Structure 1
Amino acid sequence: MKLSSKENIEVPIEQVFDMLTDFDRHERSAMRRGAEVQRTDSLGVPGVGSSWNIGFSFRGKDRKAKLAVTEFDRPYEMTLEAEMQGMDSTVNLQLVALSKTLTRLNVTVEMAAQTLSARLMVQSFKLAKGSLSKRFDSRLATQARDMEDRYSRPA
């Protein structure tokens, strides 16, 4: 299954990429939502090889996932791969500078099931793809407005 969305952000491309790769902020945000996040690499900076073990609750069950950065082309693209109990996912983030202060963020998520239970989960996602796509678009728009707010606030 594949989901994709795009959003224009009124922030220069370099700053958008820096915000997307602020992994410490993303870790804290996930923990505030109840996830357990453990960094598993020893890199001091974002890049290929950055990785995490993540535990969270989804549909009433505890889930575990491994997440890793597999492609990193500053400031244009980053790809993350996730493995979660029978399901593999790829998240691709692409940035395009539309002007000096306007950046388009393209996000694509692809999920592939490896087990029967994961296939059932993906099938339920496919049945709800319309509402899932709307929520995905809405969440990306919220993140884009948050980036604009952070950029416009003085440091």
Structure 2
Amino acid sequence: MEFTSQEDIEAPIDRVFAALSDFDTMERQAMRHGAKVRRHPTGADGTGPRWTAGFRFRGREIEAEVSLLRSEPPETLEFSGKAGGMETGMQVDLTPLTPNRTRMTVRAQLAPKTLSARLLVQSLKLARARMTRKFSVRVAQFAKTLETRAQKAA
């Protein structure tokens, strides 16, 4: 299952990418929302940083592993993750529209690997329109946060 959303941000692409790749701030933001986040060091083989995050989902404690797969400044960040029988992927692409305006496109994929994860994805498919709307709202909120941080960095 895949979700896609795009938002325009009133800031130059390099500042948006800097705000997007400020992992310390992202970790603190996740912790403020109740997640327990731990960053693992960058691998000796050149692999990007990895995180372990614990959070509550539908009354259950879930532990997720997230890795940075690819970083191509100032245009692309790609992540992969595993949580509760689900493999996930997220790609964030930035496109400059003008010198002070950037379009952010976010793609998220869910791939169930267990029966319970398949049931969850099936229920999400039944509510696809509502889930797509929620995803778009979250991306818009995130874009607004990035815009504020990018403008403060000016």
| TM-score band, normalised by shorter chain | over 0.9
CA 1:154–1:89 in 2, change beyond 3 Å: closer, same or farther? closer
Amino acid across the alignment from 1:67: V
SS of equivalent residue, structure 1 residue 79: strand
CA distance in 2, matches of 1:152, 1:112: 36
CA distance in 2, matches of 1:9, 1:79: 19
1:86 maps onto 2:85 in alignment: yes
**Partner in structure 2 of residue 120 of structure 1:** 119
Give CA deviations for 1:78-97 in whole Å, capped at 9, x if unaligned: 10000112110000000101
Give the fraction of aligned pairs with identical amino acids, expressed as a percent.
Answer: 39
Q: Which runs of 5+ in 2 are unaligned?
A: none
Question: Post-superposition shift, 1:146?
Answer: 2.1
Question: Which structure carries more relative contact order (alpha carbon 8 Å, separation 6+)?
Answer: 2
CA distance in 2, matches of 1:54, 1:143: 19
CA distance in 1, matches of 2:144, 2:94: 16
TM-score (norm 1): 0.92
SS of equivalent residue, structure 2 residue 98: coil
1:2-151 to 2 correspondences below 5 Å: 2-42=2-42, 48-151=47-150
Q: Contact 1:39/1:51 (CA < 8 Å) preserved in 2?
A: yes
SS of equivalent residue, structure 1 residue 34: coil
CA 1:49–1:153 in 2, change beyond 3 Å: closer, same or farther? closer
Amino acid across the alignment from 2:24: D
CA 1:102–1:154 in 2, change beyond 3 Å: closer, same or farther? closer
Q: Which runs of 5+ in 1 are unaligned?
A: none
- Let me know the Cα RMSD of the aligned residues: 1.6
